[in-house]
Amino acid sequence: MFPIAYELQNNDFYIKRGRRSPSRSTRKKAHKMKRPKVGLFGRLYPSCAFDGRCVIETYVCRRMKPSERERERRSQRQVETERSREFVVGVCKIRSIPCQFSRSTDESCLCLVCAVLCCVVLWCLDVSSLMSDPVSEDLLRVGHYELSSTLGKGNFSLVRLGVHVLTGVEVAVKIVAKSKLDAESASKMRREIQILRSLSSHPHIIRLFQVMESPSGIYMVTEHAQKGEIFDYIAENGRLPEDKAAKWFAQILSAVGHLHGLGIVHRDLKAENLLLDEHQNVKLADFGFSNFYSSGVLLSTWCGSPPYAAPELFEGKAYVGPKADIWSLGVVLYVLVSGSLPFDAPTLHELKARVLSCQYRVPFFLSSHCEDLLKGLL
């Protein structure tokens, strides 16, 4: 015996366990609804969704293949999409227990309003894409988000531009294939999500909206910075005037200071991880190497990009996390005001020598205040 769903009218569903044919009560209900067409939908599969505070168990139902008459009326693309679509057609249970990728310590139950909103959202959730290859660029939809262009690629992840189907809000969807995650990578992923959730209220840190999980992938929905990376901006427009560089650097300092105040180090500060929103405000992103730290405890893992790395990392020594971030901030400031890297070399060996000797050229056009700040950071 397995659950069966029948479509009644206007995307309303009737769920029943057992028989494949509509029961008398189903036919009676259909009659009261002005005799809508009652069609067998197929098997229902158990599924779940979560937002970090609760797990919502649901039934997922797959559409039947369209009839020949429907094939004639619709385009081939619509038919292929229809053939594989799945819908959440019932909510089984709402639990306040966090999922494995959402280690929230708040065990309080969901309020009634939030529960109702979650149920309403789930009833219109299309989860067909969660059953597909997670990192495939052919993936068209994740949850409520239609996917389009690729924003970036990593070793085991892909970042796609997403648009919310109801509000039209653009987001960035980081898609991670579970098959490519080992135990260490999965631990880093959980830590990244935990850190992002604790930082979502800061105006200059990229916000995490939602985390979804399927059998094959993990999907992180974050704020989309429409103007892209500061690195690309400088590559296209050249170095910044000092007043503009001062504004952006102050925003970067605000974000990093907020991190350090919460006992978190970024460990991958660079121009490529500093994004710009539609108003050209800075958003700190990419917390894959971030970690928690305690006063007096040294870190030992090499993290980040070599041109931005502090001398103690090149020496292979244990280091103080915030001090390594401060060195990287000095390199970022140099990039903003000069349009180039202070330490650059064709080989890693030469780069190490320059960083350890702190050999860099101070541009002649910098003001004395900016020069003093650079020397204090590097």
Residue 66: pLDDT band (50, 70, 90) is low
Read off the DSSP letter of residue 135. Answer: T
Tens-place pLDDT, residues 251-290: 999 999 999 999 999 999 999 999 999 999 999 999 989 9
Task: Return the pLDDT at 114.
Answer: 47
- Rg of the chain taking only CA atoms, in angstroms: 26
Residue 131: pLDDT band (50, 70, 90) is very low
What does the alpha-carbon distance between residue 20 and residue 40 come to, in Å, rounded to a whole number?
8
pTM of the model: 0.65
What does the alpha-carbon distance between residue 214 and residue 176 come to, in Å, rounded to a whole number?
10
Tens-place pLDDT, residues 72-106: 665 554 444 443 444 444 544 455 444 444 444 44
Helix axes 321-338, 230-237, angle to 10 degrees: 20
Give SS3 for 246. helix
What are the C-alpha distances in Å from 26 to residues 41, 59, 230?
Answer: 14, 19, 59
Residue 243: pLDDT band (50, 70, 90) is very high
Give SS3 for 142. strand
Q: Is the pLDDT of residue 67 over 60?
A: no
Task: Answer whether 41's CB lies under 8 Å from 7's CB.
Answer: yes
Task: Return the pLDDT at 75.
Answer: 54
What does the alpha-carbon distance between residue 375 and residue 378 come to, in Å, rounded to a whole number?
5
Find the mean pLDDT for residues 166-195. 87
32, with CB counted inside 10 A (0-12, 13-18, 19+), is exposed
Helix axes 321-338, 368-377, angle to 10 degrees: 150
Task: Return the pLDDT at 23.
Answer: 53
Task: Return the pLDDT at 283.
Answer: 94
Cα separation of the two ends of the chain:
69
Query: Which one has a higher pLDDT value, 23 or 12?
Result: 23
Active-site amino acid positions? 268
What are the C-alpha distances in Å from 211 to residues 86, 175, 250?
Answer: 19, 10, 30
Task: Return the pLDDT at 112.
Answer: 43
Find the mean pLDDT for residues 122-146. 60
Tens-place pLDDT, residues 320-363: 989 999 999 999 999 999 999 999 888 999 999 999 988 888 88
What does the alpha-carbon distance between residue 196 and residue 152 come to, in Å, rounded to a whole number?
19
User: Which two three-digit tokens encode residue 236?
Assistant: 């296209």
What distance lies between CA 240 and its chain's CA centroid?
A: 29
Query: Which one has a higher pLDDT value, 179 or 44?
Result: 179
Tens-place pLDDT, residues 148-172: 888 888 777 888 899 988 888 899 9
Task: Return the pLDDT at 296.
Answer: 81
Helix axes 321-338, 242-261, angle to 10 degrees: 170
Q: What is the 3-state secondary structure (H, E, C) of 50-115?
A: ECCCCEEEEEEEECCCCCHHHHHHCCHHHHHHHHCCEEEEEEEEEECCCCCCCCCCCCCCCCHHHH
Which amino acid is present at 22? P
Task: Answer whether 303's CB lies under 8 Å from 310's CB.
Answer: no
Task: Answer whether 177's CB lies under 8 Å from 90's CB.
Answer: no
Per the prediction, the chain carries an average pLDDT of 74
Residue 147: pLDDT band (50, 70, 90) is confident
Question: In this structure, what are the phi and psi dihedrals at residue 343, rounded to the nearest 5 degrees?
Answer: -120, 110
Does 178 count as an annotated binding residue?
A: yes
What does the alpha-carbon distance between residue 85 and residue 19 come to, in Å, rounded to a whole number?
23
**Tokens 């809000």 belong to which residue?**
169
Instruction: Give the contacts of 77 (CB within 8 A, at least 6 positions apart).
Output: none
Closest to 148 (Cα-Cα) out of 131, 160, 166: 160
Task: Return the pLDDT at 185.
Answer: 84
23-32, 291-300, 310-319, 368-377: which range is least confident on average?
23-32
What are the C-alpha distances in Å from 345 to residues 71, 134, 333, 349?
Answer: 61, 38, 19, 8
Q: Is the pLDDT of residue 207 over 70?
A: yes
Q: Report percent pLDDT > 70 for the chain.
A: 63
Give SS3 for 219. strand
Task: Return the pLDDT at 217.
Answer: 85
Delineate the domains of the chain, giving CATH numbers in brackets.
141-223 (3.30.200.20), 228-376 (1.10.510.10)
Read off the DSSP letter of residue 207. Answer: P
* CB neighbours of residue 285 within 10 Å: 22
Task: Return the pLDDT at 74.
Answer: 54
